Amino acid sequence: MTRAHADEAVHEMHQLAGPGRRNSSAPGTHPELGPLHAEKLEPRAADLPAPSATFEDLYNEYFDFTFRSLRYLGVNPSALPDAVQDVWLAVHRQLSEFQGRSTHRTWLFAIALNTARNQRRRERRMHVIPLSDELPDWRSNPERAHADREALGMVHEYLATLDEPRRVLFVSQLLEDLSAAESAELLGIDVASVYHRARDLRRSFKRWFAARQERGR
Amino acid sequence: MSSRDDVTIGELEEALQAGSDSAFESAFDGLMRQARAGAGPAPALRLQLREQVWTRLGIEPLPTLPRHAASAPARLLPLAALPRRSPWLSFGTGVGLVALGVAIGFVWGRVPTRSSASLDAATLHIVDAPARHAVGPSVVSAAPPPTLAPVPAPIAEADESVAPTLPAVAAARARPIPRSAHSPAPSESAAAAGVSGNPLRDALETLRRAHEALRAEEPAMALVDLDALEKRVPSSVLEEERAVTRALALCAHGEPKRARQVAARVLADNPSSVYAMSLGDSCAGHEELLNQMRGRVSKPAP
């Protein structure tokens, strides 16, 4: 995957996200949403690109983030090891070209998103039947591990109902807690729209959950 | 309902039926945290993938395992074989240490399973590349990348029926371990510790010994090993694993306050630490630390 592919991924997200005013809202109080949380507006200082960040630094910091992102974005669990390696090989190739216009997380997420798409395309061509979503569990507390698996399964079920832009927003804002600015960058919309759509997604999840529970009765 | 990590689907439903938006929001946030906790890689898989990526990139070829390593008498001990009455070794912590021990054992090519013979045949060997390569984005590998033997099958859990053997611990007991304020000479420490001088291997070997000492209920020895390691090997090498082992050793040594301090640092530096549950289950798992694990304490932007 080249830098162009990663850029293309971000650009495609912008297209799919639909019209939205870019960066036209000043931080402060939104007329509809109320006070905007300052700590969520801009990337955290720790997430800002460090000029001297090496590949190893990024790997140590963000490997789990890319692994989880691929998982949320629909990569078959059996394909996750290969997919995450593909991500980091791409990172290694492109790191020298990274200019710090976005945070590392935004950039890495875009690479993971493109990798996930490629993987899904390969699976469709090969008619791969997705295996169980479960990976072998390793956690120390079996009860917590079960609760975590249950939670992850439910989230996966809901994510499957979303189109890609909404899935990206859900993953970035509600699962991985990226800043609003980072999500805005990924989707090519403004920060206020990020908050607005994230709130809509919460409501959507609630409706979906209620319907799901109703079907289960 | 306050935000918690251990939100169940049933609690989400209760919040829905109660008709409370705030309760549902809180339960939803907890569900997201749990889903995130469930989505990460296992420690062994993380280590395996790191090796594979590093190998494919030819960045830091790992050292060749010495021939005798494959037949070394000492092997990782299944924690489940230890007496359950051990006050510090709750089941949760024990299995967490197994995960760490399995991860360490995986790198060394020795993993406790029900079929050691079949595992021996599939031991991972990593062949050294001719030259070291610089770390960084502009790595150019002039030498052929190291080769990997077939990766072993998914790592099985520790076999509870295997009787523990403590050759390494016995050897450690026979070994003089001075608590000296002075750093031992590298050759002396290497000879005393029986390590190669390679930082990663040194750290791995020391962690293995520390875990064996903990399993043998000798936390003081584990702490001595960890202290000596601090003087020999840069703290960045397996930093998180060293800190977690130290926290658990301090718990076993009856120093919960220091254990909590170390655990808090681990989680501050690694908010998504895979060892968070193990630390939470230990003496270091008190409310403040659990809050830190949740990672939802909102701080004002600097």
Amino acid making up residue A116: A
Contact A185, A100 (CB under 8 A): no
Give helix B186-193 / helix B199-215 axis angle, nearest 10°.
40
Residue A107 has pLDDT above 90, yes or no: yes
Asked if B40 and A67 count as a contact pair (C-beta separation under 8 A), the reply is yes
Interface predicted TM-score (ipTM): 0.76
B289 three-class SS: helix
Q: Does A39 touch chain B (CB under 8 A)?
A: yes
Nearest C-alpha neighbor of B215 from the set B249, B244, B257, B254: B249
CA distances to A88, A161, B129, B131 from B142, rounded to whole Å, are 20, 48, 10, 9
Residues 74-113 of A with CB under 8 A from B: 80-81, 84-85, 88-89, 92, 95-96
Residues B173-194: b if buried by 16+ CB within 10 A, e if exposed = eeeeeeeeeeebeeeebeeebe
Structure-token pair, residue B96: 């967490």
Return the residue in B6, B8, B24, B49 with the most chain A beta carbons within 10 A, the one to mutate for interface testing. Answer: B49
Residue B153: both structure tokens together: 């099958």
Query: How would residue A129 be classed by pLDDT, with cut points 50, 70 and 90?
Result: low
Tokens coding A184: 């805005």
pLDDT of amino acid A140: 55
pLDDT band (50, 70, 90) for residue A206 = very high
- In this prediction, residues B127-145 reach a mean pLDDT of 36
Interface of A with B in 181-210 (CB under 8 A): 202, 205-206, 209-210
Separation CA B46–CA B58 (nearest Å): 18
Average pLDDT rounded to a whole number, residues B67-92:
39
Q: Averaged over A69-95, what is the pLDDT?
A: 92
Residue B188 CB partners (closer than 8 Å, separation 6+) = none
Q: Encode pLDDT of A143-181 as tens digits.
A: 777 778 888 999 999 999 999 999 999 999 999 989 999
**Amino acid identity at A193:** S
CB pairs under 8 A between A and B: 139
Q: To the nearest whole angstrom, how far is the Cα of B269 from the nearest Cα of chain A?
A: 10
Residue B156, pLDDT above cutoff 70: no
Read off the pTM. 0.50
Q: Do B38 and A213 touch (CB under 8 A)?
A: no
- pLDDT of amino acid A194: 95
Q: Please, what is the Cα angle at A43 between A58 and A65, to 5 degrees?
A: 40
- The answer to whether residues B70 and B30 touch, using CB atoms and an 8 Å cutoff, is no
Q: Would you state the pLDDT for residue A21?
A: 38
Q: What percent of chain A has pLDDT over 70?
A: 67
Predicted pLDDT at A90: 92
Least confident of A109-118, A182-191, B215-224: B215-224
Q: Which residues on chain A are in Cβ contact (under 8 Å) with B298?
A: 37, 39
Give the mean model confidence (pLDDT) for residues B184-190: 42
String of b and e for A148-158 (b: at least 16 CB within 10 Å)? bbbbbbbbeeb
Which residue is closest to A139 within chain B, CA to CA? B96
Are A139 and B154 within 8 A, CB to CB? no
**pLDDT for A13-53, tens place per residue?**
555 444 443 434 444 443 333 333 334 445 555 555 565 67
Check residue A178 and give its pLDDT.
92
Distance between CA B299 and CA B288 in Å, rounded? 15
- Residue A126 pLDDT > 60, yes or no? yes
pLDDT band at residue B251 under the 50/70/90 scheme: confident
What is the overall mean pLDDT for chain B? 61
To the nearest whole Å, the CA of B38 is away from the closest chain A CA by 5
Give me the helix-helix angle, B199-215 and B219-232, nearest 10°: 170
pLDDT of residue B189: 43
pLDDT for residue A105: 92
